[in-house]
Amino acid sequence: MADGSIGLWTVPLAVLGGAIRVSTPFLFVSLGECITERSGRINLGLEGTLVMGAMSAYGISYLTGSPWLGVLAAGITGALLGALHAGICSLPRVNDIAVGIALMLFGTGLAFYLGKPLIEPTAPRLPAIDFGWWSDIPQVRAALRVNVLFLIGVALAPILYWAFRTTRWGLLIRTAGESSDAARAMGHSVLLIRLRATMVGGFLAGIGGSFLSLFYPGSWNEGLSSGQGITAVALVIFARWDPMLCLWASLAFGGAAALGPALQSVGVTSGYHLFNAAPYILTLAIMIITCSPKRTLTGAPAELSITR
């Protein structure tokens, strides 16, 4: 122990560290998508939003020198993409899933296009808070270097849980998601509610993207998010549209995603690619276990096209 070698303990430690570090984008995207889906619409385009968020955060952080401005820019970019999604979906006879696929391709393409000059330079990164100061073991300290965005995300989950239950906005979003007729009868515009819900969802997903480029892995390249956005969308389904469950599921996913690199660091390299696919396999497995053809999922917003 004294020489800093902790042998196989590296693996669970790295998984724990991963659960904290890697889970943040999952957390933000799934919370954002949770809001959007509760309003009765699904936005599959958050994969593109995540990548656009990562790119714009990195670009703005590089240009202004302030990573927090980068985070804000990522959120605004995400909200704009959300507005685009909601705007197209407001047209009659337009399928929201298809629009999501389109924006997934558009967002990634645009991010790659605009991000070409950003692959080389280094942008200022987000600061981290050291929760591992009490330990001498470098791996423990590395695992407990926590980013502020993670803490914000963790705090956001119970806030959203509370907001859905008790606030006027939460009730409006849920009404639009359960029965658009009821919302209309109350004199509210369903399209407007969904527009706002999708924009807020995009804002959060964009921030999730900023975490990717500004903290971990902490650089901009085209392979930054391969499917993390879509995994997070799937995660909302088995989190039963419950923000608190989104939090736990995101942590589990972060841990699963950290498994591959963790095993590699102790010399297990044979199944590297398969372990890297662990989050996708886990998502699929959990969806297989929790979905059922006989009943609609408990907690599913009735207006949601994906549960039909």
Partner 1 sequence: MTTEAADSTEAAGTIASAAGPGFFQRHGATIEYILIPGAALAGALVVFGIFVAMFGKNPLDLYFYMYYGAFGTWFSWQNTLTRAAPLILTALCTALPAQLGMVIIGGEGALLIGALSATSAALALQGMPPLVVQIAMVIGGVVGGGLWIMLSGALRQYRGVNETISSLLLVYIALAILNHLVEGLMRDPASLNKPSTREIGAANMIGSIPGTDVHWGLVFGLIAAIAAYVLIYHTVFGFAARVTGGNIRAAKIVGLGVSKLILTICFLAGGAAGLAGMVEVAAVQGRTNANLAAGYGFTGILVAFLARQNPLAIIPVAILLGGISASGGLLQRRLGLPDASVLVLQGIIFVFVLASDALYGRIGFLKGKS
Residue 68 sits in the site that holds partner 1 (CB under 8 A): no
Distance CA 170, CA 136 (A): 45
Using CB under 8 A, which of the segments 138-146, 156-164, 188-196, 268-276 binds partner 1? 268-276
Closest separation in Å from C-beta 300 to partner 1: 11
Residue 233 sits in the site that holds partner 1 (CB under 8 A): yes
- Exactly one of 129, 182, 266, 274 binds partner 1 (CB under 8 A); that residue is 274
Closest separation in Å from C-beta 214 to partner 1: 21
Distance CA 22, CA 150 (A): 10
Residue 302 sits in the site that holds partner 1 (CB under 8 A): no
Using CB under 8 A, which of the segments 15-23, 24-32, 101-109, 143-151 binds partner 1? 101-109
What does R_g of the chain's alpha carbons equal in angstroms? 20
Residue 94 sits in the site that holds partner 1 (CB under 8 A): yes
SS3 215: coil
Using CB under 8 A, which of the segments 7-15, 140-148, 198-206, 282-290 binds partner 1? 282-290
Q: How many other CB atoms are found less than 10 A from the CB of residue 214?
A: 27
Q: Exposed, middle or buried, 1 (CB in 10 Å: 0-12/13-18/19+)?
A: exposed
Residue 105 sits in the site that holds partner 1 (CB under 8 A): yes
Closest separation in Å from C-beta 231 to partner 1: 7
Find the binding residues for partner 1 in span 7-66 (CB under 8 A).
44, 48
Residue 182 sits in the site that holds partner 1 (CB under 8 A): no
Distance CA 183, CA 138 (A): 55
Amino acid at site 201: G
DSSP state of 8: G
State both tokens at 12: 């669970």
Q: Which of 103, 61, 108 is nearest to 219 (CA)?
A: 61
Using CB under 8 A, which of the segments 11-19, 107-115, 125-133, 178-186 binds partner 1? 107-115
Distance CA 297, CA 13 (A): 35
Residue 223 sits in the site that holds partner 1 (CB under 8 A): no
Distance CA 33, CA 255 (A): 21
Closest separation in Å from C-beta 202 to partner 1: 15
Closest separation in Å from C-beta 113 to partner 1: 4
Q: Which of 62, 60, 85 is nearest to 205 (CA)?
A: 85
Task: Return left, alpha or beta for 252; rule: phi > 0 is left, psi -120 to 50 is alpha, else beta.
Answer: alpha
Residue 108 sits in the site that holds partner 1 (CB under 8 A): yes
Q: Cβ closer to partner 1: 2 or 288? A: 288
- Exactly one of 190, 207, 237, 258 binds partner 1 (CB under 8 A); that residue is 237
Q: How many other CB atoms are found less than 10 A from the CB of residue 171?
A: 14
- Exactly one of 63, 69, 80, 88 binds partner 1 (CB under 8 A); that residue is 88
Decide if 153 contacts 280 (C-beta within 8 A): no
Distance CA 273, CA 277 (A): 6
Q: How many other CB atoms are found less than 10 A from the CB of residue 145?
A: 17
- Exactly one of 151, 182, 284, 302 binds partner 1 (CB under 8 A); that residue is 284
Closest separation in Å from C-beta 207 to partner 1: 22
Residues near partner 1 (CB under 8 A) are 44, 48, 84, 88, 91-95, 97-99, 101-103, 105-110, 112-113, 116, 226-227, 230-231, 233-234, 237, 270-274, 276-277, 280-281, 283-284, 287-288, 291-294, 306-307
